Amino acid sequence: MNATPTVFQRRIVIGAVICVAAFALVGVRLIDVTLFISNVAAGKQSAVSATSRGDIVDRNGELMARELPADDLYARPHMFADKRLAAHELATATGTEERRLAQAFASRHAYVIVARQLSPETRAKVQALGLPGLEYEPDGKRYYPDGRMAAQVVGVTDPDGNGVSGLELGLDPKLRGEHSGDPMQTALDMRVQFILAHEAEAAMQEFKAHAAGGLVMNVRTGEILALVSLPDFDPNARAFAAGDSTRNIAAQDVYELGSVFKIFSFAMALEDHTIPNLDEQIPIGSGYRIGKYTIHEAEHMPATLAVRDVFALSSNIGTAQIVLRSGPQRQRAFLAKLGLLSPIKSELPETARPLYPSNWGIIETATIGFGHGISVSPMAFAAAAAAVVNGGRRVLPTFVKHPEDARGEQLISPATSATMRELLRYVVTNGTGKKADAPGYDVGGKTGSAEKAGPHGYQAHKLITSFCGVFPIDDPSYLVFVLLDEPHGTKATAGFALAGYTAAPLAGQVISRIAPLLGVPMKPVAAAKENS
């Protein structure tokens, strides 16, 4: 006969049952946590792999953007002995806002994100704190090795790897697609980009301009080899420094460009045969009256000028008389055909709608003839100017490499294009563009100085200066367009801030440096002088 269990024995049995149950619960929890963390990590890694972006490279294969591994940092606040101190230390190490962390740690959230896309250096700082309850999950971070050098054109992504500006946005489907492992080769040449950026920055500082920019285009393919917009920003930083700007002035801003627009006025006149010959004499005088308006010159002009000198010396009065021979309807149709009355399209999402008068009458025709009363983006201007000099055929700007000839529809005759190249060369040898000459390369071009519009009309001492340069002018390959916003004259320019003193030398310096890199053969200086 079995004895009845004692109270002590019953307590031992009950304790044993409780211990077994506790160990079983802990075991189940460990399995659950292990599987959960593994699944989260695997899911996070799969998400990173799925959203990984392809590299962006220039036309020569130089890396411009790449996805690098990074870590997202999470915290379990209940494990911190001092939550305020932990918030302070983590904010200092990661650059995160301390107030946000302090509020999140004080809440009842069991899991708080501290910072995303930590660099190895930042992760090391965090680990050195020795705080408990920190976890890292794999992520990716977009890295731009050239920093500011091509910030506006390359663009940036958001923390989730989505393109938000520039080519990162414009090429987003291709960069995230099935072939995202393959690099996206652009038309950009970082050697040319560096030179254009360096010279634009130097000119911006020398003339104390508010902004500066420009581009280099292949006039046969439409490829953009370089595009610069200053001020710029650091795409690797999530915060902007004082004076930084994400705005691409070459693509998304429009300007009254002034006398560079005379390129289109003279091309129209040649197409319409309203100029008998380039030696025809045009009366200038002291002013040209149209109704209640009087057109004046920016600088003193002779009483009469030959047509070629109207262009070379940039006479507003002479140009107004020439464009009026064609009239308002013809001028509007001609500019529309060149693509100047609609937004330009390219792989860049940033674009701008041109501004022009709804009532296009006689006075509007005259002022548009010399680049006032119509505002276009530098990129739209460059595409139209490329057609004028490349034999007369349309090209569309592109940031994707395709070195094949892409000239399309015939917009003006080859004969008109040839005469325009002759006039552009004459501007550099005998006109306002002398400071743009690059010995050995036979540069052609046109200056532009436009007064900026203000709330009470045009402001005489606030200029947009620009220069459109083409080389080699006898058989053009490349177009260089540069722009300065409100440059100031210097002692070296005798106080003058017009394009011939500011933008023209900038373009000439750029051409002198990029032409050898682009394989443009140099003519002997003596031969170049004979051909001038």
Which residues participate in catalysis according to the annotation?
A: 259
User: How far is it, in rounded angstroms, from Cα 82 to Cα 303?
Assistant: 86
Residue 486: HSE in the Cβ half-sphere, 13 Å Cα cutoff: 10
The pair of structure tokens assigned to 246 is 């994400």
CB environment 478-493: b (16+ within 10 A), e (fewer): bbbbbbbbbbbbeeeb
Residue 212 CA to residue 197 CA, distance in Å, equals 9
The C-alpha atoms of residue 436 and residue 485 are separated, in whole angstroms, by 18
295-315 burial by CB neighbour count: b if 16+ within 10 A, else e? bebbeebeeebbbbbbbbbbb
Amino acid identity, residue 133?
G
Q: What are phi and psi of 74, to 5 degrees?
A: -120, 155
The answer to whether 371 and 311 have CB atoms below 8 angstroms apart is no
What is d(CA 85, CA 478) in angstroms, rounded to the nearest whole number?
A: 60
Q: How far is it, in rounded angstroms, from Cα 220 to Cα 403?
A: 9
DSSP string, 31-44: HHHHHHHHHHHHHH
